[in-house]
Structure formats: structure tokens, C-alpha cells
Chain A
Amino acid sequence: MTHLLEVRDLTIGLPQGADRPHAVDGISLHLDAGEILCIVGESGSGKSITANTIMGLLPRELPVLGGDILFEGERLLGLSAEALRSRRGRRMAMVFQEPMTALNPLMRVGDQIAEALAVHGRGGEARQKVPELLAAVNLPDPASIARMHPFRLSGGQRQRVMIAMALALEPALLIADEPTTALDVTTQMQILKLIREIQERRGMGVMFITHDFGVVAEIADRVAVMQYGRIVEQGPARDVLNAPQHPYTRALIAAVPHGRSTQGQAIRPAPVLEMKGVTKTYRRGGWFGAKVAVKAIHDADFVLNKGETLGLVGESGSGKSTLARCVVRLVEPEAGEILFHGEDLRPLSRQGWRPYRKRIQMVFQDPYASLNPRRKVGDAITEGPVAHGADPKEARRRAVELLELVKLDPSAIERYPHEFSGGQRQRIGLARALAMDPELLIADEPVSALDVSVQAQVLNLLAEIRQRLGLTLLFITHDLRVAAQICDRIAVMQRGAIVEQGPTASVFGAPRHGYTRALLDSIPGRSWTPPVSSELA
């Protein structure tokens, strides 16, 4: 029996000076019609390169050194550019990660789909097929959407358009490269359901690339786990998820946020931070035309008690980051009270704020943007205390201690940020915040830019340090599994307002607000509980 797609011993080289000789090293996998194969791995594992090779989209610097790719029984690697082109789009199609940039911004959505048909000589059917396709991906009012330019569509809608484009010629193989990673959790769920549904209806073979085991649990029939360019484990989804064989798979699954709360101690109510009636409105326009006002935050009152971790969860654009930035005055709200130990911080001047800078610190989201690339790690950590009058020598000694606390080598002090990985940089960012000896730490999506195993390390570190130093933590995240794991209490934000708050167990166990329920239902792989392996503590 021939498979729809078969990859045999595929090896792809990397340019000299890379961290390993091969991007992909002798991988073999196959995919049958009517099946969803998930390729899972962390960033740099070679999963996207595999997909791009199948589509013939490999950059010239990466040569194919060996192996074969058979598609419908035909060798793809030897094909001419023209022969490959006639198969791309018609027999195999691809959906990319970034819906915001994958569409031509100057072309109407309908025309872009029609173009996909036209390049394979079926432009005549466009008038009738385009609305059909848009309807097939569950977009409301296909006729009017077809006439829109991409900027008028949301990320989820654009990704649907991309899928409609990929499906235009009814391909036998669909490759989806992290198609939901850039989307909000509720949208992600809709797109996953859509892919599953279309795949079942048309009997396509789908190769789905992801880093998220939750997504795997949601959608996969079979799973291939990649590490350093090799497939370390391959098999039916149920087996791989519930009884992983390879140590790397086990480690990855153990690192999936399990959503079981590790916190449990009773908190004596001693308010550290209290937000009352804080409002922030962004205004745009003026001079000509009507002013547009967007309420970024309203009705977002909460109390944070000493030693407690409050999780602020919500989708992008819900105002959770803006609210956190109000606390440290990176955003200045126009009304309300920000009470820190009973003292209102909002009306304070820049000078008046200075003493509080020591007591309230922040860890940022993007480990690549949050450290000054031209400043050594040691200077980054000591500059805060020094700016507040600490002795530079003393601050430096303390920086070494802090690096040890965040489990980095003290030699890091003399190096520049670009020499560190994302997870290490996030530890440096944490050390920088801790150097001020804060009482209140605000963590703005500190792990969302990290790979899952690194994410678990940073979360554990954060929990450990919080215990040890008795920090009060305001933790912002879009990932409910992470929130459930680390937070004592949860506040759910939607469109600038806190719609529900309470202890983690009751918010997640018995959600009262519809939006909270929708969020919880959208957690990928909710029905799957990662097996607890005793050897990986």
C-alpha cells in the first residue's frame, strides 16, 4: 500500500557555523489520506524545515543531503520547479503561522482566493467557488467578506481565509505550520475544530506542526516528536500522549502546564495593592472627523494581599497588560486610585514615585527585547540599585548572588545578553527585578515567549523564589493552564473589565461568567490529563 506522503531518511544540511551539522537528520515518516499527523517539537527542532522541504520552499543555503520524499507515489525532490509548481496549491497546500502577514494587504480577500484558482487554470470557477470556500471555513456573510481587504479582518478571520485559499483546489495534502500559535485561545479552538471538520469531510491528509501538546491532544491521530532534527518517537496519539517512551517526550509532556494548583496555604488578608475605579481611555483622531475613544480599562477593581499570587488572565486586547502597566506608571490612567499599602500612587509626580520604584518591580514578556543589547548583564542588574544610591561594589556582589538565585553561572555578569537563550534572558530579567528587593513583583506574560520545557523551568523558579522571598505577585498570562498552576486567585479580564475573580479552584472549577466558561472550554487538550511520571519531579 502506498502512503499519501512518505518521507524516507531525509537529511538536510545546515550552513557552516550552525550549532549542529544537519537541520534534519535522517527522518522517516508517512501520512495517509484522512489522517492528521502532528509533528511536535520545540523551536529549532527542524519541524518547520521538514514541512518547507515537502513544499519545496527550502532556502538555498540548506541543501538536501539525502533521502526521498514520495507524494502520491511520486518523488518530489527530483522534480523541476515547474512540475513542483503545478502540484503546489493543486495537490498539496500550506497554511502558515502568521495570519497577519500571510495575505497581500493590497488585494481583496476574494481576489486572492480567485488567484489561487487562476494560477492552476481554473479562474473561471472563481465567481461561484469563492463564496463557497469562504462559507466552508465558517466565515459569516461570505459575499461581503470576499470584497474586503485583509486589514479589516481579525487574526482568526485571516487564518480562515488562508485555509480557504489552501482548500481552493481541494488538495490531497494540507500542511499547517503552527496555524494557531499567533491566535487567541478561543479562536485557536475554532480553527482547530475547523481543520478537523474539513479534514474529515474531504478525507485530506493533514500534517500539523505545533509545539503545544494540548493542541496535539485535541487534533492528532498520530504524533511524531522531533528533537535536534531527529524524530525521537512516533506513534498513535493516544500512546504517545499517555504512555510516552522516549525520555525527551516524557520530559516535554511533564513540562506541559498541568493546571493542578500547587498553592494551598491560607492567606491573611493584608492588602498590598488595591485598584479602585482605574480607567484608561485611548483617544485617536481629532482636528477633522470624529474622535475615536477606546476604553482600554474600566471596572477593573482588585485587591492583592501580601504573599499572594493573583493571576490576570484574558485574551489579547483585554487590557490585562495595560492594567499591569498602570501599576508601575508605564501607562498613566486618567481616573481611579492605585493604593499601595493604602497610599494612592496615581497622583504622584515622577520624583514622588521614585521611592516606590524599589518596592514594585516588573518582569517583561519578550526576553529578546527586555534587555538592552549594548549593556553587560552585570550592569543591567546593578543599574537599578546604583540609580537608587547603592554602592556599585556592593551591588555587584549582590548581582552575583542573584545570578546564583536564578540558577545562572556568576560568570554571566561579564557577558552580553545576545549570548544567552530566551529562558536564560528571562532569568536575567528576573534577577534585575529582584535586585531592587521588591515587595510586589509584576510578571507580564513572563513565559509566553518560551519553549514549553524552558517555560516549566522558569515557572518553577518563579514559584520557588516567591516562596523564599515572600513576594507578592501579580501574574499576567493568556494561558489558563499556567495560571491555574501558579496562582492563588484569578481575575478574568474581557474588553478592559474584570468579569470574574476569585480563588483559582472556584473560578476554574465553577466558572460563573460565560466568558470564563468559553475560555476554559477553549483550552486545547482539555480532556487529556498529562500522565504524571514519578521519575521526573
Chain B
Amino acid sequence: MRIFWRNFSRNRGAVFGMVILVGVAMLALLAPVIFPGSPWDMVGAPFMPPGEMGLLLGSDSLGRDVAAGIAHGARVSLLVGAVSTAAALLIGVTLGAVAGYFGGIVDDLVMRFTEFFQTIPSFVLAILLVAIFTPTIGSIVFAIAIVSWPPVARVVRAEFLSLRSREFVQASEVLGKSRFSIVIGDILPNTLSPIVVLSSLMVASAILLESALSFLGLGDPNLMSWGFLIGSGRSVIRLAWWMSVFPGIAIFLTVLSLNLVGEGLSDALNPRLARNRGAKP
């Protein structure tokens, strides 16, 4: 674990990303403390520029505090990102493991099923699913999970295919272990590093997807989210730029830092690569 941290911290970008990410998480956690009350409440005159009337980031067309919106929106964005990624991992890892371990006809069936999802543009499918199931946080998480599991399945399948023929897996087979315990106990732990790296990137794309859905007005109407903030500021962007710019920066920083952390993780979990990169000036 110490070695892991040493490798991770060698990548400065990843440390920067980690700091931002912790900051966003703190903001989300402390939102009710810093901005008590609902972010939907009017707190001042509409269209106040940043800094006036005690509003750090200004107010929107209905006099709501943009800063409060961003803080509360962070909760929604991170929650959607984390839960939908977990759901996508569950689907993707299970299908990928089954396809990779059993191979043959099972592999063919699962992979054709996966490709079926990959051929549909994911954003269109997400819009369709949310529209059918009415926009709630549950349906948004479901839609994002449904469109983002195929890459996981492919990665896990590829790892399983190569690990399955390794001698330590064959040794477990010869020891008479059950298939389930070979898959869970022997192969899966060795596929963790690519899964961890991939999932950090998936959280980022889930946040983007949620923002895009909210921007189009398909967000949960009861929850303030970053995409909703940008969407509501869109029509008045020349009048009140702060309404869309600050939530935009929040999305940008969060997604960027998730990507940086993902890269750092991939370096740290793949020490040989990290050392090569470190050797270059």
C-alpha cells in the first residue's frame, strides 16, 4: 500500500486531481452546513452579479444563490456518478467474467448482446430511457448504468480470457476448486487494476451524462444539479454569464480531476510503466 501511494504521488497531475476531488466531496458533504435551506429558495434580487448582496457567485433569474446551487448540485452529481458506475460495474463485470471464463458459445452470445448496446448511440438511448421512465434520480442512474456497462464487459472479458489460461488458474482447476471460487478468488482479484482505472473514468462520464440530461430538462425536477444550472442559464448567458460559467467550471474541474486520478491509478497499479515514465525527464 505504501508503494502504491509512492507511485501514485509521483504523478503530480494525479495528486492535483485527488486534491480537487476531495474538495468537491467536502463541498457536497458540507452543503447543508454552508448553505442551509433549499437551494431552490429565493435569497436575493434576480441577476445579481458575483459578489453583490453577499452572494459569492451571484444569483439566477429567480434570485436563487448560484453558489448554493453548485454545492447542492455536487451532491447529486457525485451520487449519480458513483451509484451509476457501481451499477454498471456490477453488470459489466458479471457479463465480462462469464463470457471470458466460459468462452465458446457463451462468449459469443454475451459479446453479441454487448455489441447490441454498443451500436446504439449511448446518449440517445439514455434520453429515451429517462423519457420513458419519467425523470427521477432512480431512472437517471438506471439509464446511465445501462449505457455505460459495455466497455467494462469488454475489458473484463479480455482480462479473463488471458488469465484463464494462466498456469495458476489451471493449478486451481487441478486442485478441484469450484468454478465460482476460481472466478471470484483467483481471476477477479487479478483484473482489479484495469477495473479501478476504468471506473474512475466512468464516474467522470456519468457526471457528464447526468449534466447533459439535466441540461435538456430531463433531470430530476426535485434535485438541483450542475446540468440544470447551466441549462437554466443558457437563455440569459449574455445577461448573466455567471449562471452557466460557474457550474460549467465545477463540471470541468471534477471531470478533469477524475481523469487525472484515473491516469495516476493506472500508473500506480502498473509500476513498470510508471517507472519508465518517471525515468524520462
Contacts and interface: CB of A to CB of B under 8 A. Distances in A.
Interface of B is mostly: helix
Contacts of A362: 170-171, 174
B179 to A, nearest CB: 8
Nearest to B186: A372
A387 B176 contact: yes
A373 B174 contact: no
A279 interface: no
Given A358-B176, A383-B177, A374 B189 contact: yes
A366 B167 contact: yes
Contacts of B176: 353-354, 357-358, 384, 387-388
A357 B189 contact: no
A428 B168 CA distance: 12
**Closest A-B pairs by Cβ, 4 of them:** A357-B176, A384-B175, A370-B167, A364-B167
Contacts of A19: none
A361 B174 contact: yes
B174 A328 contact: yes
Nearest to A371: B168
B171 A364 contact: yes
Interface in A42-72: 61
Interface string A370-396: 111111000000011001100000000
Contacts of B189: 372, 374-375
Nearest to A435: B175
A420 B168 CA distance: 16
Contacts of A370: 166-168, 170-171
Interface centre among B167, B170, B186, B190 (most CB of A within 10 A): B167
Interface of B: 166-168, 170-179, 181, 185-186, 189-190, 279
Contact of A436 (B170, B172, B175, B185): B175
A369 interface: yes
Given A61-B279, A387-B181, A373 B175 contact: no
B168 A383 contact: no
Contacts of B167: 364-366, 369-370
Interface size class of A (residues with CB under 8 A): 20 to 34
B175 A383 contact: yes
Nearest to A417: B168
Interface of A: 61, 325, 328, 330, 350, 353-354, 357-358, 360-362, 364-366, 369-375, 383-384, 387-388, 429, 432, 436
Contacts of A373: 168, 190
A371 B175 CA distance: 13
B175 A387 contact: yes
Given A360-B174, A388-B176, 20 more contacts: A328-B173, A330-B173, A350-B179, A354-B176, A357-B175, A358-B176, A361-B174, A361-B175, A362-B170, A364-B167, A364-B170, A370-B166, A370-B168, A370-B171, A372-B172, A374-B189, A383-B177, A384-B177, A387-B178, A432-B171
A357 B178 CA distance: 12
Given A61-B279, A374-B189, A374-B190, A369 B166 contact: yes
Contacts of A61: 279
B53 to A, nearest CB: 57
A283 B149 CA distance: 33
Contact of A372 (B173, B178, B181, B190): B190
Contacts of A388: 176
12 contacts: A330-B170, A354-B176, A358-B176, A361-B175, A362-B170, A369-B166, A370-B168, A371-B168, A372-B172, A372-B189, A375-B186, A436-B175
Nearest to A353: B176
Contacts of A372: 168, 172, 186, 189-190
